[in-house]
Every structure is written in structure tokens, then in C-alpha cells.
């Protein structure tokens, strides 16, 4: 039986998820990651998506 770190009450509020939510990870290790470069725009999109996902996870876990 897997360890339930969130507790039964909080897990019951996360309905429909197959796995526990994870904190999003964004890779900033590219050398050319500077504003205006080709690698900058995908990185910005990844950060935006990660923030949206993390805020949604926090909202589910809040109550």
C-alpha cells in the first residue's frame, strides 16, 4: 500500500487523478536562454504552464 502523504481527507478532494500531483519542473539550463532568443519563448510558455498547474494543485489541496 503506497504512503499517502496528503492524508485521506485531502486525497478524497482530488477526484479523478490517477497519481498524486507533482510540483512542475522547468529546465533553465540552456546556454542560450536569453530574452528574445528562440529558446526563450518555449521556456516562457513552460513557466506559465507550470505556474497555472501549480496554482491549480494548491487550490485542490487548500481545503
> Residue 14: its pLDDT value, please?
54
CA distances from 19 to 15, 24, 43 (A): 10, 14, 25
43: exposed, middle or buried (Cβ count in 10 Å: 0-12, 13-18, 19+):
middle
> Residue 62: its pLDDT value, please?
65
C-alpha cell at 59: 487550490
Average pLDDT over residues 45-61: 78
Average pLDDT over all residues of the chain: 70
> Residue 32: its pLDDT value, please?
77
Average pLDDT over residues 29-35: 80
Tell me, what DSSP letter sits at residue 56? H
High-pLDDT (> 70) share of the chain, %: 51
Amino acid at each position: 500500500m503506497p504512503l499517502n502523504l496528503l492524508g485521506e481527507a485531502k486525497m478524497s478532494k482530488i477526484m479523478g487523478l490517477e497519481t498524486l500531483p507533482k510540483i512542475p519542473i522547468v529546465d533553465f539550463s540552456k546556454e542560450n536562454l536569453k530574452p528574445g532568443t528562440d529558446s526563450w519563448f518555449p521556456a516562457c510558455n513552460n513557466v506559465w504552464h507550470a505556474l497555472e498547474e501549480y496554482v491549480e494543485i494548491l487550490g485542490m489541496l487548500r481545503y
